[in-house]
Amino acid sequence: MLRMPPTKPLLHELVAEAGLPEVTSYQELSGHGFDHQVVHATLADSQQVVLRSREESWPLPVGRARFLAEHDLPAPALLGGNEFATLYEYVPGEMLYKLLAENRMTEALWRSVGTAFRRVHAVRFPSGLSGPFGPDSLTLKPIDPVRDLHERIAAAEPRLEANLPFVLPHLPRLHAIIDAHADPLRLATTALLHNDVFPANIIVGADRTTLIDWDWPRVADPAQEVSALDEWMYLAGDTHLPEPFFDAYGPRPPNTSLYRVTGAISWFGRGVFNGWDIDSSLDEARTHQVRGWRDSLVAYLTGLGDRLDEL
């Protein structure tokens, strides 16, 4: 399999191919994801760019980037790239992950985050259609969200039985709740989702919030994305998304609470850990981070009975 060329020559090559001024300085960044190398560079005209590269080849997302730009969505502009790397405009701001960790999120900043997701979820599609948005194609197929949720829970059962057996007695009740919510699940209008709302992918700036790393977008019920944001807030130490987010975003999508519960179960059934075993390829800092996520997720599922009472 082809492998990525050295970072420095690749950066200079892609900048030149994009017709941009030469690179005057650059800095390799760390802590920005599990599967990318990130370089922040300054060009001769003071313009700043970001190079995201992978070890293995990856299709250049030209079509997807064009769609995001034409719909004026909060995503950085694609400037160039090849099968190993993408060159994007630099987005000023700080990662939501860092702001949460340092307790520096304000109501105004939360409204900015809510505005960004409102704009993304405003790209709507008919009910019952879902699918991935690849580098150059959007593939939508009819789905039954009720059956999908049942299947996700069933797929998680082996790990739950091995690691959290006390969750299993609650699952028949959860299946019944899903059936009781069949109509709102099936009638929900679908929308474009970023689909990887790890808080490091949310850049909060002084005047706008931008979502980066658009590698896995898809069309689905926006309640799935809002519930995923809720889950990340819980894992970061908060209980849920604060009200200022919804002041800008609008009302919570109807199925958010149900997707929140089923999403936690589904993530424990896959996720970046296998039951209690943390991925051995992660470094010490990442291992500590993932262990914290796992323990928070276990704490959430420990109270599953009470959470089902709220649905």
- DSSP annotation of 57: -
User: What count of other Cβ atoms lies within 10 Å of the Cβ of residue 169?
Assistant: 10
Question: Which amino acid is it at 53?
Answer: S
Confirm if 225 and 121 have CB atoms less than 8 A apart.
Answer: yes
Q: Which CATH fold would you assign to the domain 7-90?
A: Phosphorylase Kinase; domain 1 (3.30.200)
Please say if the pLDDT value at position 106 is more than 50. yes
Q: In what order do the strands lie in the sheet with 218-220?
A: 124-125, 190-193, 218-220, 129-132, 141-142
Confirm if 82 and 14 have CB atoms less than 8 A apart.
Answer: yes
CA dihedral 35, 40, 41, 47 (to 10 degrees): 120
Residue-level pLDDT at 288: 78
Residue-level pLDDT at 36: 72
* Domain locations along the chain: 7-90, 95-309
79-98, pLDDT tens digit by residue?
A: 999 988 999 999 999 999 99
Confirm if 124 and 114 have CB atoms less than 8 A apart.
Answer: no
How far separated are the first and last CA of the chain, in Å rounded?
Answer: 48
Do 95-309 and 7-90 have the same topology in CATH? no
Confirm if 144 and 130 have CB atoms less than 8 A apart.
Answer: no
Please say if the pLDDT value at position 4 is more than 50. no
Residue-level pLDDT at 46: 96
Confirm if 252 and 242 have CB atoms less than 8 A apart.
Answer: no
Check residue 33 and give left, alpha or beta (phi > 0: left; psi -120 to 50: alpha): left
% pLDDT > 90, the chain: 75
215-254, pLDDT tens digit by residue?
A: 999 999 999 999 999 999 998 877 789 999 999 999 999 9
Confirm if 54 and 80 have CB atoms less than 8 A apart.
Answer: no
Residue-level pLDDT at 31: 57
Q: Which residue from 82, 32, 74, 76 is spatially nearest to 56, judged by alpha carbons?
A: 82
Q: Would you call 237 exposed, middle or buried from its count of C-beta atoms within 10 A (0-12, 13-18, 19+)?
A: exposed
Q: State the CATH architecture for 95-309.
A: Alpha-Beta Complex (3.90)
Q: In 68-106, which positions are buried (b, 16+ CB within 10 angstroms) versus exposed (e)?
A: beeeebbbbebbbbbebbbbbebbebebbbebbeeeebe
5-51, pLDDT tens digit by residue?
A: 456 788 999 999 999 999 999 998 865 555 678 999 999 999 999 99
Question: Both tokens of residue 207?
Answer: 């005047």
pLDDT band, very low/low/confident/very high, at 74 (cuts 50, 70, 90): very high
Using DSSP bridges, classify how beta strands 48-53 and 23-29 pair: parallel, antiparallel or unpaired.
unpaired
Please say if the pLDDT value at position 298 is more than 80. yes
Compute the distance between CA of residue 244 and CA of residue 256 in angstroms, rounded to an integer: 17
Residue-level pLDDT at 53: 87
Compute the distance between CA of residue 226 and CA of residue 218 in angstroms, rounded to an integer: 14
